[in-house]
Structure 1
């Protein structure tokens, strides 16, 4: 195998691992798997999230705990990610993906229309990742919401 072919294969493998780490974060959120060990496998020790309102949370355990509190108000959520674009630079990478996130409120009656029980937001997520020696870890995730629709509940004040 030629050196350029090997380099290309290494880049494809790294890209696949980066996307898998990135997606595993949203899977953990949607499946309510907020245990600290799982978030330590996803985030760098100093990893952080920047919420759409600009609030920041740092450290895998604090991120997991914050998400457990925040997502307790939802019966379910689903984060749909598409168009992953990875920019790989050695042991660092940036990912950009389109996001549609659906959140179903726990406290809204089943008898109301879906748009009165849930909200949907669309936007762009970007993340910086680092290769840690134990795999790729998220250093930072940022979400930029472009649109929202539905019932916002206690989010109405933060839009």
Structure 2
């Protein structure tokens, strides 16, 4: 049996696209049923400053985290990938700027001088596997380097 592998450059481009599509989906909040499987493997491990989740809980935890904000904007830059096309595995890392807009209720509770934004600068680290549907994240870790503003109510209050 012959195994056909993709050229590494094609894989790099697909992984970069996957990252940008994930960020766009998070910001647009277009969460159809099983939306997360467009991006992750069924056994994914997600590590965030709020904790770690695995498998099916990853979608719920992601949606709950985003619901703490009125809107978000995630931007990726400096995407680096290391692809092993023979094994169908890759690692990726990228810088991220994540801007979160608080709900009006949060701002009212915090008072007239409350900052409407909570901004996080950091980086992502990810492991990926090639699946029949394309590259998917099997592990994603978000590492905050700095923050500006206050997190949502209930976090570090």
Q: 1:48 aligns with which of 33, 42, 45?
A: 45
Alignment coverage as a number of residue pairs? 147
- Corresponding residue for residue 117 of structure 2: 118
Q: 2:54 aligns with which of 43, 51, 58?
A: 58
Aligned Cα RMSD in Å? 2.2
How far residue 153 of structure 1 moved from its aligned partner, in angstroms, is: 3.4
1:146 corresponds to 2:145:
yes
Instruction: Give structure 1 stretches of 5+ with no counterpart.
Output: 1-6
More helix by share: 1
The 3-state SS of whatever aligns with 2:133 is: coil
C-alpha distance in structure 2 between counterparts of 1:84 and 1:47, whole Å: 20
Task: Say whether the 8 Å CA contact 1:47–1:138 is kept in structure 2.
Answer: yes
Task: Say whether the 8 Å CA contact 1:34–1:67 is kept in structure 2.
Answer: no
- Corresponding residue for residue 3 of structure 1: none
* TM-score, length basis structure 2: 0.83
C-alpha distance in structure 1 between counterparts of 2:127 and 2:21, whole Å: 15
Moved over 6 A (4+): none
Instruction: Give structure 2 stretches of 5+ with no counterpart.
Output: none
C-alpha distance in structure 1 between counterparts of 2:100 and 2:130, whole Å: 32
1:29 corresponds to 2:41:
no
C-alpha distance in structure 1 between counterparts of 2:27 and 2:38, whole Å: 17
Task: Say whether the 8 Å CA contact 2:69–2:152 is kept in structure 1.
Answer: no
